[in-house]
Structure 1
Amino acid sequence: MNRTLILLVAVVILGAGAYFLMSEEKQGTVSSVVGADREFSVPREDVYKVFLGDRNGNRTTLTRTSSGWVYNDEYPARPDAVENLLTAVDKIRMRFKPADAAIPNMIDGLATQGIKVEIYGKDNELLKTYYIGGATNDERGTHIILDGAEQPYVAEIPGWEGNLRFRYNLIGDDWRDRTIFRLNPENITSVSVEYPKQQNKSFRIDYNEAPKVEPFYPLTPRIQKPLQPSRVQAYRNNFEKIIASGFNNLNRERDEITQQIPFAIITVDTKNEDTQSLQLFPIFGKPFVDPKTGTTTQPTEVTGYYGLTHANDFMILQNPMVSKILWAYDFFYE
């Protein structure tokens, strides 16, 4: 009788203990030995560096600095791309443990196509390492495994549906900030816009003391109408943020395009003697072939611009963004 009672008490105690551990692990307040291989997140405030690498040789290092995040110790990183990554690093959670039958394929995919993720803290200490794989069939979860673990899982960001991999797998210039001009208007001392094929539209603005607008080419007749100071100031404000839609450095026709006469050359000088410039080359729509006559028509409508920056980057800009700085000489006058 006493033996039976003792066994019953032992079973109750063990059951209560197991329930407590399971409940605590589910709530995220305890990381047990069993659950340690499913703890993937790192608070974003603790993250100072992220390394990403894949089996194709792509290597990315994002580092937090006093002036913002830097890509591969050289270029300002793209803010929205870094934000997407840090959100994943901070909020990633296990969605479910896969069935045993699915594990071999998951392991194989993680080994061959996985992205290695190393997360470092303020003192360059390694905080977490894991591998991000492909998505589940419904695209609502992403395969993941901690470095050194044997059990893969399916991860998610709670409240968000989609493949997490895209937040980690940007390559090369896709991580770079696309901003061409990001200037404090008060620091701009002069702006010149040269239209080689429309010289009478070209101009130069001197913002020292009282702003002056003059023709860029000496032979262009000066406009004798009153200057509109509000337009001169509004134009300078447009250089606070000019952003390209993307880099195009790998374009095979880059050299051929940049050897042509630019549509416009924009040059900005600042108080710290920094000079930034942008050459613009129009992008036209694709030629149209008349099915009846077989004749080819080249569209004259400009759909966007290629831009060559002072840093020798080749970029693509959309019309609404470019129109903010492609003004004409006579627009500043009544």
Structure 2
Amino acid sequence: MLLVLLLVLVGAAAYFFTNKGSEKSTLNTSETAFTVTDTAAVTKIFISAKSGASNTLTRQENGRWLLNDKYEARQDKINNLLETMHRMEVKRPADKASRNLAIRDFATMGKKVEVFQHGKLSKVFYVGQSTDNDLGTYFIMEGSENPYVLHIPGFNGFINTRFDIVEDNWRSVPVFRSNAQSIQELKVEYTGDPQGSFTVTQSNGKYTVSGLKETDQENVKAYLDNYNFINGVFFVPNPQNRISDSLALRKPVAIITVKDTNPEKSREIKLFPKDIDNFLALNEKKKEIMQVQTFVFNRLLIRKDGLGKK
């Protein structure tokens, strides 16, 4: 009898020390499988809130992402979200004191996240509020009654803001998407410097610049290639088009007009000074205002003589 009792005690001790300090080993794996281990397999992410706001992010064949089937998505935010889902880990179950509050917050302020891999729904969970010390975020798996605190090891902060439901925050800010081959005509007008203004036209692969006797073909081509991928920083809120209508009445410092072989890439952008580092760029046709960086647009805002032969 003594030998049996001794074996039981030894077995219990072995179990205790094997699992001591490993909280995750005692957790229900079906309730805690929040982490997305293979983000390369993610083809779609759907994020929604009780307010009715939602965003659908879909990976395209070229690797880029589409927002709500109509906008180019910001790649930096996509990368941040995928990294978050890959690195986030369960820190602990919600304690008794916070459990009911966390569940109530899921019902009112939680965000539902659906992750699709290889075109199939792979997991659904809800993202809640941050913990009192802001070092974790409450999550709960769909169908579960038990919330958990998740965090990213080495990151001291909360992660619920990365599951953003504001559409404009996910939108890429494309200003120009043309290149030397597709541009038929490009006009840069300086309202305070008409002598520096110019128009570039293309015919059968040759470029001419208005007002120049000799055009440096390689220089012009290199300049036009700058228009291949020009982004802004963010879209400026424009309720009831009030700001765009107000800007349209002001005199811009420059107007850039691109006529592309693809009409969808043709546009006219008016630039207004904002501060030393930024312009406000107005696409009057779409009633869109973008904040754009000065150092990016300095590549475009050259004088006419910069395109001539030296």
Does TM, scored on the shorter chain, surpass 0.5? Answer: yes
Do 2:244 and 2:282's aligned partners in 1 also have CA atoms closer than 8 Å?
Answer: no
Following the alignment from structure 2 to structure 1, what is the Cα–Cα distance between the partners of residues 129 and 197? 52
Gaps of 5+ in 1: 215-221, 286-300
Q: Deviations over 1:242-277 (max 9, x none)?
A: 211111242432222224454433223445566422
Report the alpha carbon displacement of residue 64 of structure 1 after superposing the two structures with TM. Answer: 1.0
Do 1:267 and 1:275's aligned partners in 2 also have CA atoms closer than 8 Å?
Answer: no
Within the alignment, does 1:305 sit opposite 2:259 as a pair? no
Q: Which residue, out of 217, 223, 238, partners 2:226?
A: 238
Report the alpha carbon displacement of residue 326 of structure 1 after superposing the two structures with TM. Answer: 1.9
Which residue of structure 2 aligns with residue 319 of structure 1?
A: 294
Q: Which residue, out of 121, 139, 142, partners 1:126?
A: 121
Following the alignment from structure 1 to structure 2, what is the Cα–Cα distance between the partners of residues 275 and 64? 22
Report the alpha carbon displacement of residue 140 of structure 1 after superposing the two structures with TM. Answer: 2.1
**Distance 1:13-1:61 versus aligned 2 partners, 3 A rule:** same
Q: Deviations over 1:104-160 (max 9, x none)?
A: 22222222211111111223x221111112222332211211122222121112232
**Distance 1:192-1:201 versus aligned 2 partners, 3 A rule:** same
Do 1:263 and 1:279's aligned partners in 2 also have CA atoms closer than 8 Å?
Answer: no
Equivalent positions of 1:139-158 (< 5 A) are: 139-158=134-153
**Distance 1:24-1:156 versus aligned 2 partners, 3 A rule:** closer
State the secondary structure of the residue aligned to 2:266: strand
Which residue of structure 2 aligns with residue 44 of structure 1?
A: 39
Following the alignment from structure 1 to structure 2, what is the Cα–Cα distance between the partners of residues 101 and 76? 43
Following the alignment from structure 1 to structure 2, what is the Cα–Cα distance between the partners of residues 148 and 273? 49
Which has the higher mean CA deviation after the structures are superposed, 113-122 or 270-279? 270-279
**Distance 1:101-1:19 versus aligned 2 partners, 3 A rule:** same
**Distance 1:275-1:78 versus aligned 2 partners, 3 A rule:** closer
Q: Deviations over 1:154-176 (max 9, x none)?
A: 11122323221121125011111
Following the alignment from structure 2 to structure 1, what is the Cα–Cα distance between the partners of residues 160 and 169? 15
Following the alignment from structure 2 to structure 1, what is the Cα–Cα distance between the partners of residues 27 and 223? 62
Q: Deviations over 1:262-307 (max 9, x none)?
A: 443322344556642232141456xxxxxxxxxxxxxxx8952232
Amino acid at match of 2:228: E
**Distance 1:22-1:120 versus aligned 2 partners, 3 A rule:** farther
Q: Deviations over 1:303-328 (max 9, x none)?
A: 52232166553212232222221222
**Distance 1:261-1:40 versus aligned 2 partners, 3 A rule:** same
Following the alignment from structure 2 to structure 1, what is the Cα–Cα distance between the partners of residues 19 and 134? 31
Following the alignment from structure 1 to structure 2, what is the Cα–Cα distance between the partners of residues 7 and 101? 38
Identity %: 28
Which residue of structure 2 aligns with residue 136 of structure 1?
A: 131
Do 1:257 and 1:281's aligned partners in 2 also have CA atoms closer than 8 Å?
Answer: no
Amino acid at match of 1:167: R
Do 1:284 and 1:303's aligned partners in 2 also have CA atoms closer than 8 Å?
Answer: yes
Report the alpha carbon displacement of residue 232 of structure 1 after superposing the two structures with TM. Answer: 2.4
Gaps of 5+ in 2: none
Which residue of structure 2 aligns with residue 100 of structure 1?
A: 96
Report the alpha carbon displacement of residue 99 of structure 1 after superposing the two structures with TM. Answer: 2.7
Within the alignment, does 1:200 sit opposite 2:203 as a pair? no
Do 1:95 and 1:155's aligned partners in 2 also have CA atoms closer than 8 Å?
Answer: yes
Amino acid at match of 1:328: R
Aligned CA RMSD, in angstroms, stands at: 3.1
Following the alignment from structure 1 to structure 2, what is the Cα–Cα distance between the partners of residues 241 and 119? 30
Amino acid at match of 2:34: F
Do 1:265 and 1:277's aligned partners in 2 also have CA atoms closer than 8 Å?
Answer: no
**Distance 1:241-1:87 versus aligned 2 partners, 3 A rule:** same
Which residue of structure 2 aligns with residue 294 of structure 1?
A: none
Q: Deviations over 1:29-65 (max 9, x none)?
A: xxx7734312211120221111111122211111111
Q: Which residue, out of 213, 231, 236, partners 1:248?
A: 236
Do 2:178 and 2:265's aligned partners in 1 also have CA atoms closer than 8 Å?
Answer: no
Do 1:179 and 1:243's aligned partners in 2 also have CA atoms closer than 8 Å?
Answer: yes
TM-score by length of 1: 0.78
Which residue of structure 2 aligns with residue 34 of structure 1?
A: 28
Number of paired residues? Answer: 304
Q: Which residue, out of 247, 256, 261, partners 1:266?
A: 256
Following the alignment from structure 1 to structure 2, what is the Cα–Cα distance between the partners of residues 305 and 160? 34
State the secondary structure of the residue aligned to 2:195: helix
State the secondary structure of the residue aligned to 2:279: strand
